[in-house]
Chains A and B, each alone.
Chain A
Amino acid sequence: MSALNLTLQVWRQAGPSSPGRLVRYEARDISPDMSFLEMLDVVNERLQEKGEAPIAFDHDCREGICGSCSLMINGVAHGPNPGTATCQLHMRSFRDGDEIRIEPWRARAFPVVRDLVVDRSALDRIIAAGGYISAATGGARDANTILIAKDTVDTAMDAAQCIGCGACVAACPNASASLFTAAKITHLGLLPQGQPERITRARQMVRQMDVEGFGGCTLYGECQEACPKEISIDTITRMNRDFLRAGLSAGRSAVAGSD
């Protein structure tokens, strides 16, 4: 395949409170074997050679696992290929002459830091509200004393694969973090070790999700499609079940602070 010439419309915003806008850049001579982020690297190199500030975007592993990369590409979170994070998207998915619009995730809970970089710490606070098993270091008994059916672990693992990228929020018309929250509730709630805290976990995480200002879930299903790990909205069903059970039973109800 030969090189691509593309037009980019990229969201540029100097800081959290500055106004932003889409700015047009030409991206010439792009190899189809490049990853999307390598294409942006090339654009950035050229910008810097002209003395302009490079486009800021989050990235780290570039292997689709750290969850840093987070671009809205032509109105689709992580771009056109299902089950693929932005860093794993390759330019062969585009045609010569295409116009590509690139925006940050948008949600009240994800304020823009700069250009395409947003603050996703709200997701950390949802985990802090209960997304763990309180097993202090040291006291664990032999790992094989609790048997866990292969199916159960496999289903838990399906949910545990969440990379915390926030694409589910970005793609959701409600800007809901339900899929993210539900993935963790499902992962831990399926395992025997997760049972003691299962109900309080669901209650606290759901409440934190609301405190952070995410929307509710209308079951649009967009999140599942955007999710680079193809996590199923079945997890949302499970979160709702656990939460409703929490509502019908007593228990702790502290909500972790948010700021």
Chain B
Amino acid sequence: MELNARIPVGPIERKWDTHRFEMKLVNPANKRKYTVLVVGSGLAGASAAAAMSELGYQVKCFCFQDSPRRAHSIAAQGGINAAKNYRNDGDSIYRLFYDTVKGGDFRAREANVYRLAQISVNIIDQCVAQGVPFAREYSGLLANRSFGGAQVSRTFYARGQTGQQLLLGAYQALEKEIARGGVTMFPRTEMLDLIVIDGRARGIVVRDMVSGAIHTHLGDAVVLGTGGYGNVFYLSTNAKGSNTTAIWRAYKRGAAFANPCYTQIHPTCIPQSGEYQSKLTLMSESLRNDGRVWVPSRQGDTRPPSQIPEGERDYYLERRYPSFGNLAPRDIASRAAKTVCDEGRGVGPGGLGVYLDFGDAIRRLGAQTIRERYGNLFEMYERITDEDPYRVPMRIYPAVHYTMGGLWVDYNLMSTIPGLHVIGEANFSDHGANRLGASALMQGLADGYFIVSNTIADYLAGARLTKVDHTHPEVRAAREAVEMQTRRFLSIKGKRTVDSFHRELGRLMWDKCGMARNAEGLREALQEIPRIREEFWRNVNVPGSDAELNQALEKAGRVADFLELGELMCLDALHREESCGGHFREEYQTADGEALRDDERFAYVAAWAYAGSDRPPALHKEPLEFENVHLAQRSYK
């Protein structure tokens, strides 16, 4: 397999312009002759589907929820970055680019990141034009807040519901195109396989989740915007339905999977409260603008927080990272929390928590201001924990949040399978080994509204596709494979529920491939996962039939894929003998516990290619060149 990133030549500021000029175009009258299948209706999928339909393509869009508006992007809270420099605080496209490359611990592709920073400004304009009610100042101008890993205020937000408002903007654009006839929407439809014909992505196999019927859809290109795979850990901040199935099946059909081990652990989540826990709830990073993180200085201090005097508190982020303080990037803040908890200074049940304290902010700004800024987050916290954060400091703990890894894509966002484009969290492109807050929304919309909608023409215009129909042997084979798997699940009739396997896998992944990893643990996990997988295929119980709405069956398919993906993640984590961003190998750290990169050996993207069920995947490397940002140890001190 050849990894050709197809990065345009020329100075970085000009690459995207040059590329747009050099790309092939599809003439407007011909666009409607092309059918594009967009899987996913999150920020990436919905914006791509709407934009491509506006351009004239025939679009089919798929999501597993009952409405495209419910895609997981809806849950993003804090905000979206853009290099508008409305605050006159020294921001610029270059600074956003620089912050993102540095925040990603120098494991992202410069050209993609620069383009993302350039497009960020258009996104805000587009969203405002659509009626996204971003927060404003009394002057009527747009307001900003700060996010981790940045010293400028460039994050735009709509209360604590930025993702919701952005997604509704994209969803409304999508509905507009549905009404116009440009997009046909297939909700409650799950993609279960990719159809590749003559080496090109030509269609997908889906299951109608209401009737259970298996259908095939054919087209000229396929775009996957199916989100992240954080649910491999069972407990994460992702929605319950978020899954890896679409990208995993594409991987098994030949798309390389890049950096699977790069997982973001978010520092501010509500700690787990019991075994039955079904998901973890994020408390937006924006809270760290005003909240101060601390633990007792002394081990095993069980006094209630109000009785711990100032002098006996350790504001460890402010202490260790004086210039970024509470706004240190996520990977660093998470690890710091783990460190103090490992030292026995954690608070709350099991000592798995640290305080996020608004006492000072409330004294300084008044409860009313805090309520305006974070009211809904505070309410959410209280609903879940039954504690009032206006009076008692919040308890928080890191949780799996985002996956930087994903299908490998070139500058056009096309995977190693021609015609298969991958956008949003599902690809690996822009965040390196660690994503900065408020950058995923930016990436999803950049990919959908502005990038893939353009670059797809380059593929279509040059592809010379033959006509295929549903009787093509590859189409039938893919469909039959899906039907067979479904029947197999139903026929096992074992003793354990799907969830019990998922939980088992999740715990293992968290312990061995979570916030900190080491070779020994990863090797153990590589032994364990195949064992769990083997038991799964022998002993899982999937009740019901395939001809009805069957939520156990849906889960079974997703967990079966997680059980394979987990292994690849461990393999990747084991091979990367360095620490970078969200990937922290305990063997590779500096004297004061910071991540120790090895640029000599690992300044590359690890792209894994499937080699069959009985053979280990093949590793391909895309070397990363840093021509504009100087490779340096990341410091937030």
Answer whether A and B touch in the complex at a CB cut-off of 8 Å. yes
Are A131 and B172 in touch, CB under 8 angstroms?
A: yes
Q: A160–B453 Cα gap in the complex (Å)?
A: 27
A: contact size bracket: 35 or more
Are A90 and B134 in touch, CB under 8 angstroms?
A: no
Q: Is A188 an interface residue (CB 8 A)?
A: yes
Q: Is A15 an interface residue (CB 8 A)?
A: yes
B128 CB, min distance to chain A CBs, angstroms: 4
Contacts of B138 in A (CB 8 A): 150
Q: A132–B86 Cα gap in the complex (Å)?
A: 27
Q: A113–B65 Cα gap in the complex (Å)?
A: 13
A173 CB, min distance to chain B CBs, angstroms: 25
Instruction: Give A41-60 interface residues, CB cut-off 8 Å to B.
Output: 41-42, 45, 48-49, 51-54, 56, 58-60
Instruction: Known contacts A54-B551, A114-B549; decide if A67 and B69 are in contact (CB<8 Å).
Output: yes
Are B541 and A65 in touch, CB under 8 angstroms?
A: no
Most buried by A among B131, B135, B273, B550: B131
Q: Is B274 an interface residue (CB 8 A)?
A: yes
A194 CB, min distance to chain B CBs, angstroms: 6
Q: Is B84 an interface residue (CB 8 A)?
A: yes
Number of interface residues of B (CB under 8 A): 81
Instruction: Known contacts A45-B499, A161-B161; decide if A193 and B69 are in contact (CB<8 Å).
Output: no
**Partner pick for B159 among A137, A150, A157, CB 8 A cutoff:** A157
B445 CB, min distance to chain A CBs, angstroms: 10
Are A42 and B276 in touch, CB under 8 angstroms?
A: yes
Are B126 and A138 in touch, CB under 8 angstroms?
A: yes
Q: A56–B279 Cα gap in the complex (Å)?
A: 18
Contacts of B139 in A (CB 8 A): 147
Contact with A along B49-83 (1 / 0, CB 8 A): 01100100000000001111110101100000000
Contacts of A92 in B (CB 8 A): 386
Q: Is B164 an interface residue (CB 8 A)?
A: yes
Of the listed stretches B174-182, B357-365, B433-441, chain A binds B174-182
Contacts of A191 in B (CB 8 A): 131, 133
Residue of B nearest to A257 (CB): B179
**Partner pick for A132 among B172, B241, B380, B495, CB 8 A cutoff:** B172
Q: Is A136 an interface residue (CB 8 A)?
A: yes
Q: Is A250 an interface residue (CB 8 A)?
A: no
Contacts of B210 in A (CB 8 A): 113, 119
Total A-B pairs, Cβ < 8 A: 222
Are A66 and B70 in touch, CB under 8 angstroms?
A: yes
A127 CB, min distance to chain B CBs, angstroms: 5
**Partner pick for A88 among B75, B175, B380, CB 8 A cutoff:** B380
Residue of A nearest to B52 (CB): A137
Contacts of A14 in B (CB 8 A): 548
Are B50 and A137 in touch, CB under 8 angstroms?
A: yes
Are A63 and B75 in touch, CB under 8 angstroms?
A: yes
Contacts of A134 in B (CB 8 A): 176
Q: A163–B75 Cα gap in the complex (Å)?
A: 11
Contacts of A117 in B (CB 8 A): 66, 549
A168 CB, min distance to chain B CBs, angstroms: 15
Contacts of A84 in B (CB 8 A): 383
Contacts of A121 in B (CB 8 A): 66-67, 187
Most buried by B among A15, A66, A160, A256: A66
Are B543 and A62 in touch, CB under 8 angstroms?
A: no
Contact with A along B376-393 (1 / 0, CB 8 A): 000110011010000000
Are A256 and B281 in touch, CB under 8 angstroms?
A: no
Contacts of B187 in A (CB 8 A): 121, 124
Q: Is A120 an interface residue (CB 8 A)?
A: yes
Contact with A along B136-167 (1 / 0, CB 8 A): 11111110000000000000001101001100
Contacts of A224 in B (CB 8 A): none
Are A60 and B179 in touch, CB under 8 angstroms?
A: no
B497 CB, min distance to chain A CBs, angstroms: 5
Contacts of B176 in A (CB 8 A): 128, 132, 134
Instruction: Give A180-227 interface residues, CB cut-off 8 Å to B.
Output: 187-188, 191, 193-194
Contacts of B168 in A (CB 8 A): 160
Are A54 and B552 in touch, CB under 8 angstroms?
A: yes
Q: Is B449 an interface residue (CB 8 A)?
A: yes
Q: A129–B172 Cα gap in the complex (Å)?
A: 10
Residue of B nearest to A161 (CB): B161
Most buried by A among B68, B127, B141, B240: B240
Of the listed stretches A30-38, A96-104, A232-240, chain B binds A30-38
Q: Is A23 an interface residue (CB 8 A)?
A: no
Q: A147–B136 Cα gap in the complex (Å)?
A: 9
* Apart from A38-B276, A124-B67, A193-B131: 15 A-B pairs, beta carbons within 8 A: A35-B278, A51-B543, A66-B70, A68-B65, A88-B380, A88-B383, A127-B69, A133-B172, A135-B130, A135-B173, A140-B129, A144-B84, A144-B86, A193-B130, A256-B179
Q: List 7 A-B contacts (CB under 8 A).
A: A60-B239, A132-B173, A141-B125, A144-B141, A156-B131, A161-B159, A161-B164
Instruction: List the interface of chain B (C-beta within 8 A of A).
Output: 47, 50-51, 54, 65-70, 72, 74-75, 84, 86, 122, 124-131, 133-142, 158-159, 161, 164-165, 168, 171-173, 175-176, 178-179, 185, 187, 210, 239-241, 273-274, 276-279, 281-282, 379-380, 383-384, 386, 449-450, 453, 495, 497, 499-500, 541, 543-544, 548-552
Instruction: List the interface of chain A (C-beta within 8 A of B).
Output: 14-15, 31, 33-35, 37-38, 41-42, 45, 48-49, 51-54, 56, 58-68, 81, 83-84, 88, 90, 92, 113-114, 117, 119-121, 123-124, 127-129, 131-144, 146-150, 153, 156-157, 160-161, 163-164, 187-188, 191, 193-194, 256
